[in-house]
Amino acid sequence: MWVYEKKLLYPVEVKECNPKLARYIAEQYGGADGELAAALRYMNQRYTVPDKVIGVLNDIATEEFSHLEMLATMIYKLTKDATPEQLEEAGLGPHYVNHGHALFYENASGVPFTTTYIQAKGDPIADLYEDIAAEEKARATYQWIIDVSDDAWINDSLKFLRERENVHSLRFREAVEILKDERDRKKIF
C-alpha cells in the first residue's frame, strides 16, 4: 500500500514551451533505461530477493515512481498548448496523431514501452547487478539529455534526478555486499 502526497519529490519549473525537449525527456519516461522500467523492475524483483534486501528494492522502486511523476510534469508542461505544427516540428507529429496532447510511455524515438526492457532472473546477484547497471545507464541518459537541453530550470531538476541514480547505484552495491556476508551461513543450520 502506498500513501500519496500531492506534491512533487523535487520542484519542476517549466518556463517555456519546448516540445523537442519533452521528446528527449521521454527517453527517461518510457525508454529502456528510464524511470518506468526501473520502478517496475525493482517493484517486481523484490518478492524473490533475500529478506535483508527487499526493503532496498521496495524503497527505491517507490522513489522511481516519484521520479516518473516529475518527468511526466515536465513533458506535460513542455507540450501543453503546443500547436500541432509545433509538435510536428519537434518530431512529435506521429505522437500527436496517435495520442494528441496525452503523455505516453514511449522513448525519444516514439517506440512504446515494453517489459522486454526489464528482467527478473530469480538469482539475487544477477538481479542486483542488472539494477546497478540500470542506475548507471539512467545516469548516462540524464547526462545526454542535459547536454542537449538549454533550459536551466529543467536542467536543475534533471541534475537532481541524475544524482539520485548515483545514490541508488551505491545502495544496490551495498545490497550485494550484504548478500556476500551471507556466505557460508548455511553451514550453521
Partner 1 sequence: MDDTFRGSYEPYISPCDPCPPVLVKTFSLPPQLFMNFQPASLPQFSPAEALQHGSLWPALVDGYSKREGIS
Taking a C-beta distance cutoff of 8 angstroms, is the pair 134, 36 a contact? no
Minimum separation from the CB atom of position 131 to partner 1 (A): 15
For position 179 contacting partner 1 by CB under 8 A, the verdict is yes
Of 13, 16, 50, 143, the one binding partner 1 by CB under 8 A: 50
Nearer to partner 1, 80 or 121 (CB): 121
CB of 65 to partner 1, least distance (A): 24
Counting contacts by CB under 8 A, is residue 99 touching partner 1? no
The correct pick among 60, 120, 124, 169 for binding partner 1 (CB under 8 A) is: 124
Minimum Å gap between C-beta 189 and partner 1 is 6
Distance of alpha carbon 133 from the chain centroid:
13
Nearest to 64 by CA among 145, 125, 118, 126: 118
Q: Residue 180 corresponds to which amino acid?
A: K
How many CB atoms are located within 10 Å of the residue 61 CB?
19
Of 102, 125, 167, 170, the residue at the interface with partner 1 (CB under 8 A) is 125
132 binds partner 1 per the rule CB under 8 A: no
User: Closest approach of Cβ 50 to partner 1, in Å?
Assistant: 4
Choose between 34 and 124: whose C-beta lies nearer to partner 1: 124
Instruction: From 117, 111, 114, select the one nearest 130 (Cα to Cα).
Output: 117
Is the distance from CB of 74 to CB of 6 less than 8 angstroms? no
Residue 6 interacting with partner 1 (CB under 8 A): no
- Verify binding: residue 121, partner 1, rule CB under 8 A: no
The residues near 40 (Cβ < 8 Å, ≥ 6 apart) are 61, 115, 118
Backbone angles phi and psi of 84, in degrees to 5: -55, -35
* Closest among 108, 140, 110 to 22, alpha carbons compared: 108
Q: Least distance to partner 1 from the beta carbon of 176, Å?
A: 7
Instruction: By CB under 8 A, name the binding residues for partner 1.
Output: 50-52, 123-125, 176, 179-180, 182-187, 189
